[in-house]
Structure 1
């Protein structure tokens, strides 16, 4: 009889505990509110914030708004100053365009060209480069195709000029089978082989068939990005330039500059490209009696840039020392310099406002939390994951007490009829209303189980297409979660996928499906709630450090 009573009270206790948990979850879920999501996002994507570029006034306005919301919600400030800010110093090295130039010197004349150019790997404030010039077609060596743009020429110690991409047919398809050279980013694959040949500099020009004369025509945003090199002062003087510490300087030039250089050989870029593509044979040569002088000069400035962070403290005397960290970057890519603003509604105002609602949800049931929950809005994601890297190197709670990082980046979109083909060289992958892209979960089978159970509970489906650390698009490494994963902290990265408006001015209010955004916010909250209330910490049974050589 006594044993039966004990069993009865045990069952009753478990039932009451379950009811309490369900009630707490519902209390939190009620705080994730469509009008609030709409209101917060509308503020963050206003043109007045100028695209929230890191280091610019618009980002400061966004940070101040987020800070006010953190305080309103009741998050605890745990930074040294008690103002919800964790600041780092951004150093910007900008090209001084008025004092930078390319000069073409021939036997007949010396022409100083004012066309913009972009040095991809600056390593000092002043660069002076001069030398003879060699035209090397596309700069491709393909053994499989028996094609070699370097056959019969010597580029060591000289300036070599190449076209972007590779030989193409009339439809734009690569004529070489060894590798697809039709991508506008193909120059990246050419550089190692060219640099091994020891040129002073590589001049890259958009090929005429591309339809673009210059980088700024192709992508004003990329042109502005390349005109400025940025790094975090506290990390040491490490420029995030393309192929740093390489003596050969890599420079993107205007087509008018290329044609001026080619005058010495009585050629034009268009005629040379047509000749190469027609016969699929290289046309490479030294440009006679022509030298080029390049002067590239830079200025430095420093600015304090904030992460915004607040805490919901747990109630267990010991377990509250552990923390689940939610992250979302609140920066975007700024303006196009011609009046257009990249407001980044989905990337990543969506994740930013989701964290506001998730924080409010946890505050509604704080008394039930065993572990603490941190809401961390990070800056600098678009220019190098700077904010999250700074946090993981300067954690406000010791990293060994961090249970999981849940990262939300682009979580407010649903596939439309417009979402076809590719964008920026990547296949459009945005999902439907009931699906969510997952990256992560590899480090802990328990964490993956919690994710799967919660997805079933809310009636959503997991898309794991991109959940491969070796996927060619490298999504596992391209958002803020990676800085936690590298510290052996299990991660879940949620996204609704890449859409046709990715990094375009059209990523605006109309891109957002607020019902989907609410659904992802609720899912993320429920996963975190389970992690914050379970008695035992999840086991990390496959730490990142055991994965072998990863980027």
Structure 2
């Protein structure tokens, strides 16, 4: 922990005048209700709430019923709680075929397409050898199909989901330079770690790419295919006359997803035209590979924990009647690339320039009971020093978490600030924070289930989010934006 920064922030919070320290409505946040809601949202009947599926939409409808029971006003489209949008999905057609030296390689089992491109190839294969021994920045590969052995010796795998990320790291280190030098296709031969990661990687590859209409991935612009092969294929590729015959066909679909949007109108005749926005996301990862006997990725911490916290905050605000309006947006398709939040900022259901603060959450129910973090508290991620001071004061008045500040640094290997739904809002300069209790080994696995949530800690996190929101919703002036805010990427 960066103790100096934490002490400075706490000192600033303690010397700043905010709304009263114990906000009315706090008693409406109850551990038993959080637990009941979370068991409902992370139930097996929603089959992991995968974005773009009927399971995500069923979970959205279930959540909207809770919005209604709490008393939130619909703030989606056409007088409903829903803002529907289309996800554009590109995937490799099962009609695609890959042959090496006349032998068929079964798609996903023997050959996995990691980078999609419509391609029809019948060409000799140039074998480059082990990646560690290849100068990829100077290799003569223009117009060639090249094969190269993966090697992760110099790659940092001390990250979350390393089996999901390994192939991408290998491509960035060794494949991208070859593409820039004009390679027509790349065949990666799996090393030991890639073999270990094959099931997770292939599952991700086969799902393709996703975007909203008009987004950069809505139309495939990749020019060359990248294909992974098992170690057993090496002998075929080193024979000196190896040849690739590949017909890779891409197909595109549109799937519905939805943001769930409800509002508590403000009580002040002027300030009610400004909005505090609470943010979470519905989707998890559906049904995937079996891990420890289960294949449903329940998404209890990620991100049902935040969604039920938002419901509890809504109940609290219904008792306390804030001066500003409070809008609750549980976004769809976050796991597909922040699609719901990106869509909302492109087509907001309330005036975008009147959203004065976004309080987003991502995974707030696990790990040590006395520790937590907020992302967006440090430059260059900080959008508003005043908002950070409010959040620090709220923590000091209530849960008094010991705050981890390392994850908010631009040098942190996870880069998690860029992976949650506050980001599209923050990019517009809207004061934004992300509350979290950070990652754990059950992240994006079936073991992220409701039984593993620390409900006492979840209540403390919910209290913190509500206390911060109460300050924002009732302050005489909205948190000022940092004038020099600029993200590092």
TM-score past 0.5 threshold: yes
Counterpart of 2:421 in structure 1 is 480
Partner of 1:268: none
Per the normalisation by structure 2, the TM-score is 0.86
Q: 1:133 aligns with which of 125, 138, 147?
A: 125
Aligned match of 2:348: 395
Question: Which range moves more in the overlay, 157-166 or 252-261?
Answer: 252-261
- Which whole-Å CA distance do the structure 1 matches of 2:270 and 2:461 have between them? 30
Q: Trace 1:53-68 onto structure 2 (pairs within 5 A).
A: 53-68=50-65
Partner Cα separation in structure 1 for residue 106 and residue 242 of structure 2: 18
Deviation at 1:543, TM superposition (A): 4.8
Taking a change above 3 Å as real, the CA distance of residues 70 and 128 of structure 1, as seen in their structure-2 partners, is same
Match in the other structure for 1:199: 183
The equivalent of 1:517 in structure 2 is 458
Contact 1:90–1:230 under 8 Å retained in 2: no
Distance, in Å, in 1 between the alignment partners of 2:209 and 2:314 is 31
Q: Counterpart of 2:213 in 1: which secondary structure?
A: helix
Count of aligned pairs between the two proteins: 454
Is it true that 1:506 corresponds to 2:447 in the alignment? Answer: yes
Instruction: From the CA coordinates, give the structure whose radius of gyration is larger.
Output: 1
2:360 corresponds in structure 1 to: 407
> 1:83: which partner in 2?
80
- Name the counterpart of 1:239: 217
8 Å Cα contact 1:214/1:253 also seen in 2 = no
Partner of 1:550: 488
Q: Give the match for residue 290 of structure 1.
A: 242
Q: CA RMSD in A?
A: 2.6
Q: Is the 8 A contact 2:131 2:151 kept in 1?
A: no
Secondary structure, counterpart of 1:349 in structure 2: helix
- Unaligned regions of 5+ residues in structure 1, if any? 1-17, 141-146, 175-181, 266-287, 415-431
Equivalent in 15, 29, 34 of residue 32 of structure 1: 29
- SS state at 1:51 partner: coil
Partner of 1:438: 374
Question: How is 1:368-387 mapped onto 2 (pairs within 5 angstroms)?
Answer: 369-387=322-340
Task: Structure 2: give runs of 5+ residues left out of the alignment.
Answer: 1-16, 158-164
Shift of 1:518: 0.5
Secondary structure (helix, strand or coil) at the match of 1:131 reads: strand
Residue in 2 aligned with 1:454? 394
CA distance in 2, matches of 1:482, 1:91: 20
Are 1:50 and 1:342, in contact at CA under 8 Å, matched by a contact in 2? yes
CA gap of 1:300–1:189, structure 2 versus 1, over 3 A, is same
Residues in 2 aligned to 1:335 and 1:164: alpha-carbon distance in whole angstroms: 29
Which of these residues, 92, 97, 100, is aligned with residue 96 of structure 2?
100
CA distance in 1, matches of 2:47, 2:230: 28
Q: Does 1:349 align with 2:304?
A: yes
User: How has the CA–CA distance of structure 1 residues 152 and 330 changed in structure 2, closer, same or farther, with 3 Å as cutoff?
Assistant: closer
2:31 aligned with 1:45: no
The answer to whether 1:223 aligns with 2:223 is no
- The answer on whether the counterparts of 1:165 and 1:187 sit within 8 Å (CA) in structure 2 is no
Q: 2:318 aligns with which of 363, 378, 382?
A: 363
Greater RCO structure (CA 8 Å; 6+ sep) = 2
- 8 Å Cα contact 1:206/1:213 also seen in 2: no
Q: Could you say which residue in structure 1 is the equivalent of 2:226? A: 250
Distance in 2 between residues matched to 1:470 and 1:151, nearest whole Å: 25
> Could you tell me the TM-score, scaled by structure 1's length?
0.77
1:340 aligns with 2:290: no
